[in-house]
Amino acid sequence: METRVNAQLIVVVVIVASALFFVARRAWRAIVAARQPKSGCGSDCGCG
């Protein structure tokens, strides 16, 4: 029974770690995208 509990714990840890990695990666990509300069015209360029 001890090995079954350990196996279940390992599975749970892997799933939670994967979810945390996914969320951290999405947040990092959002931060990087927000810091990059925007392309195209802005509202103050006078072309529109």
- Tell me: the pLDDT tens digits for 1-45? 788 889 999 999 999 999 999 999 999 999 998 888 766 666 666
Cα 43 from chain centre: 30
Query: Structure pTM?
Result: 0.64
Structure tokens at 8: 């279940």
pLDDT at 42: 64
Question: In the chain, count of helices (H) and strands (E)?
Answer: 1, 0
Report domain extents, the chain.
1-34
Is the CB of residue 41 less than 8 Å from the CB of residue 47? yes
Q: Closest Cα partner for 34 from 24, 46, 42, 26?
A: 26
